[in-house]
Structure 1
Amino acid sequence: MSSETLGYPPFDTVKPVAEGIWIVDAKPIHVMGIALPVRMTVVRLSSGDVWLCSPTRFSPELSARLAEIGPVRHLVAPSLGHWTFMEEWQKHYPEATTWAVPKLRDRRQVKASALRLDHDLGDTPPEAWAGDLRQMIVRGGGGFREAAFYHAASRTAVLTDLVSNLEPERVTKATRAYARLTGTRAPNGSTPNYLRVALRLRKRDAAEAGARLIDWAPERVIFAHGRWFEDDGTRRLKQALGWLLDQG
């Protein structure tokens, strides 16, 4: 299987999800010998500003397509791992505000980079998008933090690593083995086993966060790795997080 056919092409292009929300699928990223499909979420806020969650690789062509939606004003790092492409976006959009989960600014790799982090995310959305998105921080042990969002107008939940749903035909042989070992194989998907360990260290907090995600009653659930839930989102999310919802 050619690396050009992995993941969810066409790559680095804006794909509509519903009114006011899009995704961008990028070529897989390589982490410890596996190739993971990766995805960015794009929201046009009621102000007209564009909000990018988990920015993928920058390209002038992608930037031009985003300009058709509106001005990019917010760059969001929703987890401790999804920040590495943000520095390039920041260079091209110096006027954009950068948001990050708590503790990201404390990581050695971030301190060694040129990335500017303007604000930490919390459980209450900032004024800039309070009218468009709900949000909360999912907390686990070992410093695990992931920001979860809900775009009410389209009934779309936006996650990052909390759920993965890796389709065997879309990934390499090594990644298929990873999906089996981590419990993230499609069609059901789930939380990778290594993240479950961190979440169980704060199981009550994590279970409450999981229950709140279900209470949002999303029709769609977008996440960074694998086939996202395009419909029947609440039921499928409840199934994917069943292990967590029983922890409370």
Structure 2
Amino acid sequence: MLEEFGENIWISAGDTVAVAGFHYPTRMAVIRLDGGDLMIWSPVKLQDDLRAQVDALGTVRHIVPPNALHHLSVAEWVAAYPQAKLYAPPGLRAKRKDLKFDEDLTDSPQQAWQGEVDQTIVTGNLITHEVVFFHRHSGTVLFTDLLQQFPEGWYRGWRGVVAKLDLMVAPEPAVPRKFRLAFVRRKEARQAVARILDWPAKRVLMAHGTPVTADAKAYLQRAFHWLTG
């Protein structure tokens, strides 16, 4: 079910997905651009009720997987909305040769949402290069996997121990340790994060974690202090 998150942005929880034995809650966002076109960020499984709610908001024109890990439901959205453009984050073209991508996501906003949604690619990481977005009307920064937080007790047994060590169940959303260790080119990452910290953020949204709706800029500075010093 869609839930309004801010001006011209809605969110919806998706199915839980299993990766390497760990179950992840998922979340997508719908951004309505000034002309009425819709941008689907990190699409989750397309259920009939979700589709009806999305269609009531406008016309889906842009389907955006933000990194090469978030692609499981992309094909069904492409099939449902053949008029929409599909955008490729770094690494996904090679991974999903079955999909026809229309544009590559770059370090600058696409023409279709220029002036409304900003973006930067956080590179230098061995796990994935993530495109982080900033929706200007709502002041929302959108992260996919770089920031995560799971409810206490979500994982049990040895998975619970691993999740705690990995900072997946920290008091507030954090960059998991595995991602921190995977930043082998930190200068590149710092440059991207510096750009993110310059955005006038009011709230922070992530695919796997509790949204931050207060003191967003201070939160982001805390979340990336380990990298920026």
TM-score range with shorter-chain normalisation? over 0.9
Name the counterpart of 1:42: 30
2:120–2:195 Cα contact (<8 Å) kept: no
Point out the more displaced range, 205-214 or 44-53: 205-214
Matched, 1:90 2:75: no
So what's the TM-score if we normalise by structure 2? 0.94
Distance 1:28 1:189 in 2: 18
Distance 2:127 2:178 in 1: 13
Shift of 1:85: 0.5
Q: Which of 48, 59, 75 is the aligned partner of 1:60? A: 48
For the residue of structure 2 that corresponds to 1:237, the secondary structure is helix
Point out the more displaced range, 211-220 or 78-87: 211-220
1:167–1:186 Cα contact (<8 Å) kept: no
Name the counterpart of 1:136: 120
Matched, 1:184 2:172: no
The share of aligned pairs that are identical, in percent, is 35
Distance 1:143 1:26 in 2: 23
Distance 1:232 1:186 in 2: 18
Distance 1:47 1:176 in 2: 45
Distance 2:13 2:165 in 1: 24
Amino acid of the residue matched to residue 144 of structure 2? T
2:204–2:212 Cα contact (<8 Å) kept: yes
2:164–2:170 Cα contact (<8 Å) kept: no
Shift of 1:218: 0.8
Shift of 1:143: 6.7
Distance 1:78 1:189 in 2: 18
Q: Which 5+ residue runs of structure 1 have no aligned equivalent? A: 1-12
Distance 2:214 2:86 in 1: 30
2:155–2:163 Cα contact (<8 Å) kept: no
1:52–1:74 Cα contact (<8 Å) kept: yes
Deviations 1:148-204 (A, max 9, x none): 1111111110111111122215x23255434212112232221112211222x1101
Distance 1:233 1:91 in 2: 36
Amino acid of the residue matched to residue 132 of structure 1? E
Name the counterpart of 1:236: 219
Q: Which of 197, 212, 225 is the aligned partner of 2:195? A: 212
Distance 1:141 1:235 in 2: 24
Distance 2:39 2:191 in 1: 27
1:137–1:146 Cα contact (<8 Å) kept: yes
For the residue of structure 2 that corresponds to 1:99, the secondary structure is strand
Distance 2:94 2:29 in 1: 25
Distance 1:116 1:75 in 2: 12
So what's the TM-score if we normalise by structure 1? 0.87
Q: Are residues 45 and 178 of structure 1, via their aligned partners in 2, closer, same or farther at CA, if it must alter by over 3 Å? A: farther
Q: Which of 83, 100, 107 is the aligned partner of 1:123? A: 107
Q: Which 5+ residue runs of structure 2 have no aligned equivalent? A: none
Distance 2:22 2:90 in 1: 27
